[in-house]
Structure 1
Amino acid sequence: MTDPAYIVFSDLDGTLLDHHDYGWAAALPALSRLRAQGIPVVLASSKTAAEIAPLRAEMRLQHCPAIIENGAGILEPHADADAAGDDYARLREALEGLPPNLRARFRGFGDMTDVQVAEITGLPAASATLARRRAFSEPGLFSGDSAALDTFVDALRAQGVRARRGGRFLTLSLGGTKADRMDEIAGRYGAPVTIALGDAPNDIEMLEQADHGIIISNPDGTPMPVLTGERAGRIRRSEKPGPGGWNETVLRLVSELART
């Protein structure tokens, strides 16, 4: 099989999935065109393998890897959603090894029930169950001032654990970002031109690193600052939000690439 001319990396919520109903039908024309051209579409999300695997199958993208848990891991093509290493167990061990006063300040998904995760995330109960099936990272809520947070982060760093703030959750992992995984996966395909799409600040590294970045409009999300790549002409913004904007901008960019 020949290496593709380019490869697409896409965030999900608010980008390829509608912010309100999580639908993606509006992006079908662009997805169909990419499939017809043999272009891999790599889903890149904070979602777990258990959440992404069925969605990847619905989109007929099982043959493509997916970036899961914000870059902490990769779900391989056609892989079982439960296939994972021991990262999560190591994270939980690191947490339990903290002094009790620090440990008590962090309440991770592993410390909550499915119902509690549903309450704090707004997810339906079934989705909350899948969100708790973690393999590579541990999101949670931290209570305390900035000094306490610094102490917490430093104590985990000493054990090789990285803590990153993303929206309301502090997420622990053993490293890896969407941008790191994008480079790793692109290398498997012969390092083709990379296209990245996202709508939120946690997508910035991936957008900036790609050859072509597309910021999908999300009026309900955290505003995206003007990025360096925008000034250089490598990053553009969609007018429409969600999958409608995804479809429009991808089709336009694919047509442009076909003419070069």
Structure 2
Amino acid sequence: MRLLVFSDLDGTLLDHESYDHSPALPALQQLQALGAPVILASSKTAAEMRVWQERLGLTRWPAIVENGAALAEGTPDDRDYRAIRAALADLPPELRAPFRGFGDMSVAEVAGITGLSPEAAELACRRAHSEPGLWAGDALDRAAFLTALAAKGIEARSGGRFLTLSFGGTKAGRMAELIARLRPDITIALGDAPNDREMIEAADYGVIIRNDHGPGLPPLPGEAEGRIRRTTREGPAGWREGIETILHEIGLAEAAPATKGKTHG
């Protein structure tokens, strides 16, 4: 049985505040023993994701980066990002002024806004496919701004803090590409936030990680039949809970040797 796992990072596989992933290690080790790929899917850049793939032992597989704008594999190509920046520069000044993107900020500014270390902020600034930024105008100006960009093929997604511009693409769309390529028998997707919804709904088994720090996810149709479930624990402890529950349900828990050691969460 070929199993393929897709996972968000922040608040899901990583603790919301500490970025600790150790509570998830027993489940990660079980998946490794089963030969099941774990595809990371995040708003992070390819440079940021590479760091986490190395820490988690997942460098063998591609990653879904910049909220689904691209798959990270091979040499990064930043043509999309340069095109977005050029489109912004072409806007009338009154439309452009309220938007301050990462490309308009110093690394120190990005670190201050995101809470990242200067080193991590530098990686977050290595954009290739999307431009997150802060919007300082009103709703009417924003509508005009987005309409002008849409004429250039640029879409926008609102997150908890940033308005992110890209040429489209979603986590679920990239997930479909990898499913077609890797041809698994069963897919699992785990996430904790609204931008994970499509990915969770598209999987054979979806896991909504408990999130006490943000908006979380509303009830989803798949929950009624048990195809989608919610964890009782947050972050990586919830990740382990979700993975181990599903492996038991599909009869793969016995196929992977149990791991020992203390976990917390």
Select 1:167's aligned residue among 132, 151, 160. 160
Amino acid at match of 2:246: L
The residue aligned with 1:66 is 63
Identity of counterpart residues, as a percentage? 54
The residue aligned with 2:49 is 52
Residues 210, 216 of structure 2: 8 Å contact kept = no
Structure 1 SS opposite 2:206: strand
Q: So what's the TM-score if we normalise by structure 2?
A: 0.92
Residues 87, 149 of structure 2: 8 Å contact kept = yes
Amino acid at match of 1:88: Y
Structure 2 SS opposite 1:216: strand
Amino acid at match of 1:238: T
Structure 2 SS opposite 1:149: helix
Residues 186, 192 of structure 1: 8 Å contact kept = no
Q: So what's the TM-score if we normalise by structure 1?
A: 0.94
Q: Following the alignment from structure 1 to structure 2, what is the Cα–Cα distance between the partners of residues 222 and 125?
A: 28
Q: Following the alignment from structure 1 to structure 2, what is the Cα–Cα distance between the partners of residues 20 and 224?
A: 19
Select 2:89's aligned residue among 91, 96, 112. 96
The residue aligned with 2:261 is none
The residue aligned with 2:169 is 176
**Residues 1:224 and 2:217 aligned together:** yes
CA offsets 1:164-193 (integer angstroms, 9 cap, x no match)? 111110000011000100001111112532
TM-aligned CA deviation for residue 5 of structure 1: 1.8
CA offsets 1:116-143 (integer angstroms, 9 cap, x no match)? 1111111111111111011110000112
Unaligned runs of 5+ in 1: none
TM-aligned CA deviation for residue 162 of structure 1: 0.6
CA offsets 1:100-122 (integer angstroms, 9 cap, x no match)? 10111110000000111111111
TM-aligned CA deviation for residue 231 of structure 1: 2.2
The residue aligned with 2:151 is 158
CA offsets 1:57-115 (integer angstroms, 9 cap, x no match)? 11111111100000001112xx45xx224110011011111111011111000000011
Q: Following the alignment from structure 1 to structure 2, what is the Cα–Cα distance between the partners of residues 179 and 41?
A: 15
Amino acid at match of 1:194: T
The residue aligned with 1:127 is 120
Amino acid at match of 1:69: E
Structure 1 SS opposite 2:18: coil
Select 2:180's aligned residue among 187, 211, 214. 187
Structure 2 SS opposite 1:118: helix
